[in-house]
Amino acid sequence: MNVSRHSSERARFSVSLLLVAAVVVAGAYITWARLPAEHRRRPWAEDANVFLFDAVRHGPWNVVVEGYAGYQHLIPRLVIAAIYPFFDIVRYPMLVFAICSVLTGLAAAAVLWLARDLVPWLPARLTLATITVLLPLSAQETVGNLADLHVYAMWLAPWLLLYRPRKWSTSAGWAVVTFLVVMTEVQAVFFLWIIAFRLRRAEVRAFPIFAAYLSGAAWQIVTALLVSRPPGEGPLSIGSTTLGWMINTVIPIVQADPDAVRAIIRTSGVLLAWLILIPIVVAAGVVFWKGATAQRVLTAALLLGSAATYTGSVWANSSNAFRYAEVGLEHIDALAVNIRYGVPSGMFLIAVIPVAAAVLVDRARDAPASEHRTSTRVHLTAAIAAICCSALIVLLWHGSLHVFSLRTTVPEWPTAARAAIDECQSVSPPTTVTLPVAPWRSVTLSCHELLAVHR
């Protein structure tokens, strides 16, 4: 009997691992394929301006815990340090895009695994994995670069804190992941309150994860206090913050083209945002009504996280472009639309729908036998939940058909890098060379530095 049970458990575990591997591969492929090939030949922002530049100038391992813009970026700097001895600068943006595609696939698989207790219904967890790789707005700036990899770290934070490891070895492994995640996204500090709901003896195996989270959070706070960042342009009003959240988080769930969003707002204001919020509010109500305590905590974390990540980002980087209430939506052309701050915020927001779907299916299965749960009730509930999850995936897929990316604002990196290498190897080399970096940036290296990473 025990042998049979253990064999069955091993079989289920093997199937789970195969599913996780499939999600990694599918997530990596989707991320890689979301942008046209020419977009993958341009580095993005800090990938060149900060991470590559600091590695070349100071040595990759010397800057692994170097703070920038007020916080730590551990995973991006570790990636650069790991690949630095092997990559050729000509192929740098393509290599970074490929690595980030794999890391995004891993993030999708991590959510699939971490959510298995709180979202036990597999179709709902696959929907969560799909959200990770297919949110329409992420194509604009977030996918395929190390500079915005912190978005996926933020997305993983609440799932890590609510995960229930079965073994100490599993807990230790996820603790390492947790430290890397929190040391990559300063706003993950927001979710520390979740730990208060987990400090029970029954949750003791999760304590290493909590310790790693607290350690990373403390390091981020110290960095924020010691490393300065450019100041914003004054505080934002609650009205502007709320309108901005609707414009940059809610509407981009279905439409990620800034010009199209501006046209919608000129025609009907934020009516579309209100319509999108209706099923999300209903889903949240389902969880708070029918869900277990841990599922309610999760849903509260997702909703509060959506508000907090957007608010924290725009308040820290405030400008007149975010003053929607004061300027007025009739002047939407002068205001920011579909900014990257809506990516983690949007992920948290729409994740409430698959969580609610899982709750409905679980409650139908747990209903008393007198309600004939083994027949019509369970099947009907599962069908409704599947339709909701499928509709969300279709919505994300449709919104991603016409991606908008800012990468083509500068020339391609390989051509510029080869030209710079030729200059540096000429009879009369220049003192420095400048390479183009999206969006509207550049990085300047000496010929010695450039040739040091040309292999």
In a domain, 442, yes or no: yes
In a domain, 245, yes or no: no
Q: How confident is the model at residue 370, as a pLDDT?
A: 53
In a domain, 122, yes or no: no
Question: pLDDT tens digits for 245-260?
Answer: 999 999 999 998 999 9
Is the predicted pLDDT of residue 6 greater than 60, yes or no?
no
Segment 113-132 shows an average pLDDT of 96
In a domain, 299, yes or no: no
Q: Please, which residues have CB within 8 angstroms of residue 131's CB and are 6 or more apart in sequence? A: 347, 350, 351, 354, 392, 396
| E runs forming strands in 268-349 | none
Q: Please, which residues have CB within 8 angstroms of residue 202's CB and are 6 or more apart in sequence? A: none
| E runs forming strands in 127-208 | none
In a domain, 187, yes or no: no
Segment 87-114 shows an average pLDDT of 96
430 lies in which domain range?
A: 413-452
Overall domain count for the chain: 1
Segment 295-314 shows an average pLDDT of 96
Q: What percent of the chain has pLDDT over 90?
A: 79
In a domain, 107, yes or no: no
Question: pLDDT tens digits for 333-382?
Answer: 999 999 999 999 999 999 999 999 999 998 887 766 555 555 677 778 88
Please state the pTM of the whole predicted model: 0.93
In a domain, 283, yes or no: no
pLDDT band at 14 (very low <50, low <70, confident <90, very high): confident
In a domain, 439, yes or no: yes
Cis peptide before 439 (omega within 30 of 0): yes
Query: Among 172-186, 218-232, 280-294, which is the least confidently predicted range?
Result: 218-232
On average, the pLDDT of the chain sits at 92
**For residue 316, which amino acid is it?**
A
CA 144-148-149 angle, to 5 degrees, is 75
Question: pLDDT tens digits for 380-405?
Answer: 888 899 999 999 999 999 988 877 88
